[in-house]
Amino acid sequence: MDGDIYPVFQAPGKRRSRCKPTSEIQQKLNQKNAEKKLTRLVHSNFTEDDIALHLTYRPGEEPQTEEEAQRILTNYIRRLKRRYAKMGLELKYISCTEYGKTNGRVHHHVILSGGLDRDTIEKVWGLGYANSKRLQFNESGVTGLAHYIAKDKHFFKRWNQSRNLTIPQCAQFDGQLNMDDIADIEEAIECGTQWQWFEDRYPDFQLVEATCYKNNINRGTYIHFEMRRREWSGSSAAQPARMKKRTTSGRP
């Protein structure tokens, strides 16, 4: 379970005047939102029985354009789908195509459902190096991998996904926290006792992380937290609850 606590400065149904953030601020916000979205998507659809795959090209086989790279990956996934279908399995996947930081070479990252043996998955690629491994969940799930895939060095889109993925739904609760509650959370995070505040309210979960950010422009406090079920195991990590909390400014 992960959630966001943030201020709402206007009454429901009323528009406030628009303020356009700087491009740098907007880019950072877009990046954070993309990381959260992809993390929730992975956690809602994949388990330790599934696979993380890294694909590169051997010299002379590299695609010459972004369109060609996307076409090659699409064709590869189609070949995998046929293999899965022959076994009576449905393929789910999330893929990302990007340039390498150091050498600028095109490569692909894919998270896909298990069922087909890894040797076959790698052999079907046939254009260079293919490395597959089981998804490795820790107390934060696969947040690190999801953030890595969602980083901003990408092609047309940050990622592509199959249509059969379960889309996580966020619950939203307006006006349930007041400014005193926010001050309590801030103090708890500063003192290192934030686990108590969150775990008292969600006893079935254990706190993994809670961070607090103060916006210097609107003076609002923004808190993000991540928790895991107490009976968590890697194989059950794919079915977390989802929650997004909103606070009002001084209104319970």
**Predicted pLDDT of residue 240:** 40
The two tokens of residue 172 are: 């939203």
CA distances from 52 to 63, 71, 102, 223 (A): 22, 20, 22, 30
**Predicted pLDDT of residue 15:** 59
d(CA 236, CA 231): 9
Q: How many CB atoms lie within 10 A of CB 116?
A: 19
- For residue 110, which of 159, 153, 157 has the smallest C-alpha distance? 159
**Predicted pLDDT of residue 66:** 84
Residue with tokens 């943030």: 6
**Predicted pLDDT of residue 220:** 85
The two tokens of residue 46 are: 């994949």
**Predicted pLDDT of residue 55:** 95
pLDDT along the chain (252 residues), means of 10: 83 58 73 84 91 92 89 95 95 89 83 94 95 82 76 70 90 82 90 89 90 83 89 48 37 30
* pTM beyond 0.75: no
Q: How far apart are the first and last CA of the chain?
A: 23
